[in-house]
Amino acid sequence: MTACGFSRPLTVPGRLTAVSSKGSATEGLEEGGIIATNTDGDARHGRIFPTELHKEATEAYMSYAMSVLLGRALPDVRDGLKPVHRRILYALHELGLSSRKPHKKCARVVGEVLGKFHPHGDNAVYDSLVRMAQDFSLRCPLVSGHGNFGSVDGDNPAAMRYTECRLEYHKNREVFILLASLFQALAETMLLSDLDQDTVDFVPNFDSSLKEPSLLPARIPNLLLNGSSGIAVGMATNIPPHNLGELVDALCVLIHNPDATLQELMEYMPGPDFPTGGIIMGNLGILEAYRTGKGRVIVRGKTEIELSNSRTKSAAIIVKEIPYQTNKASLVMKIAELIQNKTLEGISDIRDESDRSGMRIVIELKRGSDPAIVLNNLYRLTALQSGFSCNMVGILDGQPKQMGLKEMLQAFLDFRCSVVERRAKFKLAHARDRYHIVEGIIVGLNNIDDVIGVIRKASSNSMASADLRKRFNLSEKQAEAILDIHLRRLTSLEKSKFINEGKTLTEQISHLEELLSSRRQILQLIEQEATEIKNKFDTPRRSTLEDANDGMLDEIDVIPNEEMLLAISEKGYVKRMKPDTFNLQNRGTIGKSVGKLRVNDTMSDFLVCRAHDHLLYFSDKGIVYSARAYKIPECSRAAAGTPLIQILSLSDGERITSIVPVSEFAEDQYLLMLTANGYIKKASLMYFSSIRQSGIIALQLVPGDELKWVRHCTNRDAVAMASQNGMVILSSCATIRALGRNTRGGIAMRLRKGDRMACVDIIPAATHDESENVSEAHHSQSSMIILNSKKADGPWLLFVSENGVGKRVPLSEFRESRLNRVGLIGCKFYSEDRLAAVFVVGFTTADDGESDEQIVLVSQSGTVNRIKVRDIPIKKRFARGVILMRLEHAGKIQSASLISASEETEEEEVEAAAVVV
């Protein structure tokens, strides 16, 4: 074996011949070299030259790689096409297979492409042709096909001898392909128009027998419209499709503002639009792909929940759309396999009911199965949720390059400016040539007698042309045009036509010269032509965008939506506990400790909510933060809890004063805010549906004031407000005007000197209406009879003082009034006692008509007492209450929460938010 690794020379006709580096023929060649020799024909014409092996391998590999990159795998940024697609469309154009002509066999088109432009395999050409006709592969198909062109189930298309094609879809199609049928002649308008006006360069084909366009004069960015995918040598591309209307809008934004930011472009083109629809989860992947050219977009199938059996009340998940490039048949088989392996629980049957009207996969659930949990498992285990990895690589200036959205749009815009400029120059040259001819004809018609005389005297055509040029100072083309005029065109009418044509050509030349002298007018023309395509071919978006955490399944998808208790301290420590942590106790008992507290810390709030609720945290500075309830770590009763600053971005000295659990943001719901100095404001709940991590302003505060209470209400509800001295105002929520976030509000209650607001509660519409109906009956009887009767009908106002004293007063004892009033006395207090909380009770009642609710009292030291509301006596407005909780060593009542209890168990359900002192 020699140093080069060859034991003997290897000779291949017409190829490089490798020989030993130590042979006589290579005397002086460095070790590791090879000899290249041409062995074709006579040896006298062969030539031998030395070269290094690694250099030859590198150059050959790079040559091969660039050939694959530029000639096969990567699309051009300018027209968005690979060479094979460009050649197919040009062949269809040359064959005259427009959208208004009959279809022809695909084999005829493939043969045309192979024989004239694309010297590769017929399967490669036919597969590319098929993909351009699939409405589930391209957002705007460029070829119209007759026959079997494959399906979303992964079925192969029929052989090319059985299928037919032509450019684009026709206008009048069947209903089941209505979406695709809207693109009449789109390929012709978008890609092939102006091809004969010197808009692009034509290059020789593979055997230099014909010319083919190096590009197509695209009018809109086809690369972003239909996307592209390809694997080359050392790199790949995967560009998602987009909506035509949104794409044109983004292009127009860039035309008007070349310095437009990516965020400004995304306002008009928020993300991809896949032909198979689906739901795009989140925009972080889109933003990264548009910024750098590389990102991952999570796409989910579109599903619905239907009741499959009304008798058994079993549900079914209906899949109507699947992610882009997902095989539907494989998806169904995968789900069936997971069901058989017991990996997927809660599914009884699966079947594919898709037909011409659309996709429909039915997944029947077992009785009692939670559709949300089953659906989340489908997203996690199957291709019903999949990722589209964007790798936006294209050919720019003859080199492969990874580009972001703005760079792609700018590259297309520069190309389109060049196309429009070349087209204008072409038209200008033709207009000038024609005007030159018309100008000579007019001169001849003005001197028709002399022209005829010159022609009659001439001995030949060449002499006549020479005499005309000499006599009337004409050019050769003008003289030939005069000689070619028929006698019938010598009439005055024909003369006026030439004069009018000359005027038209003059205007056209002036317009074209003005266009070429102004880039602004060129951009305006580009915008106009793109807008015309949008107005004619635009369709609604198919893929919906959902503002989520990039589709990643969070803890919420596996955490049951169970009730939970939240305890918050004054220093900002919060903990989540199970609802059975505190047992029911009798009135007047000491209660049970809520757990360990930090030094000099006291309890601030105690509320009941569900794990999936959005918790709106309102601070004393009028700022609102948001986080899911399950984000609070669950711990035991004895634990100290987690600092809120680890969950929320609180500023120094900022305290959370009110927490509102929200299960769903509805347009007809509001938040009612009340400050310590008595300012009240109502704001739509929708303002708080999207809160950034650093929080947003909920209420403007005057100096020295702080936001204390926030409640959830509707316009049909009423509000009960009370001061620390026991004064009460009842008012309708509808009378409070809804304001924006960044406002202060109005005065809620006229406070006497030394008095401050104590609490607020919402009276639900049903309870409010009921109290109005029975108000007159209550006042017509003796108040002593009503108030002393333990069976008196509700609803009631439940008062709780700071010293643990409480009572119930019928709601009918209070009349409704406007805001900014002193109010009515609701409760009398012992010395050095103040009102801590007020609730509207009577939401749920037992069979005897008594309240079925419970109240949870929390002292400053963290002691909790949970008692039945029915054990609290009913008294009149001017009476004092009874002891609800003994507070010898527990300080004062710090917060109270109202919950509803079940007759069978002691498990509670949320009925009202907590009240903070």
Active site residues: 162
Helical (H) or strand (E) element with 503: helix 492-516
Closest alpha carbon to 409 in 293, 564, 534: 293
Residue 578 has what DSSP assignment? -
Closest alpha carbon to 392 in 547, 238, 198, 178: 238
Closest alpha carbon to 69 in 86, 83, 48: 83
* CA pair distance 854, 806, nearest whole angstrom: 13
Tell me the H-state helices in 759-835. Answer: 765-780, 783-788
Burial of 770 (0-12, 13-18, 19+ CB in 10 A): middle
Give the β-pairing of 279-281 and 544-546: parallel
Residue 408, C-beta contacts closer than 8 angstroms, at least 6 positions apart: 77, 221, 223, 224, 392, 394
φ and ψ at 318, to 5 degrees? -105, 115
CB atoms under 10 Å from CB of 912, counted, come to 22
Between vectors from CA 4 to CA 3 and to CA 10, what angle results, nearest 5°?
130
Helical (H) or strand (E) element with 893: strand 893-901
Residue 486, C-beta contacts closer than 8 angstroms, at least 6 positions apart: none
The answer to whether the beta carbons of residues 9 and 17 sit under 8 Å apart is: yes
Burial of 721 (0-12, 13-18, 19+ CB in 10 A): buried
* CA pair distance 784, 789, nearest whole angstrom: 8
Structure tokens given for 516: 């070429």
Residue 837, C-beta contacts closer than 8 angstroms, at least 6 positions apart: 758, 759, 799, 800, 893, 895, 896, 915, 917
Structure tokens given for 325: 């490039």
* CA pair distance 701, 893, nearest whole angstrom: 27
* CA pair distance 341, 616, nearest whole angstrom: 42
Cα 671 versus chain centre, distance: 28
Tell me the H-state helices in 35-151. Answer: 53-68, 83-94, 106-116, 122-131
Q: How far is CA 171 from CA 89, 167, 177, in A?
A: 19, 12, 11
- Letter for the amino acid at 287? L
- Letter for the amino acid at 534? K
Count of all residues that appear for the chain in the document: 917
Residue 800, C-beta contacts closer than 8 angstroms, at least 6 positions apart: 806, 835, 836, 837, 838, 839, 855, 857, 884, 893, 896
* Residue corresponding to tokens 């509670």: 908
Structure tokens given for 562: 């169970």
* CA pair distance 214, 201, nearest whole angstrom: 6
* CA pair distance 545, 551, nearest whole angstrom: 11
User: DSSP secondary structure string, 214-278?
Assistant: SS---SS-HHHHH-EEEE-SS-EEEE----HHHHHHHHHHHHH-TT--HHHHHHH--S---TT--
CB atoms under 10 Å from CB of 355, counted, come to 9
Burial of 376 (0-12, 13-18, 19+ CB in 10 A): middle
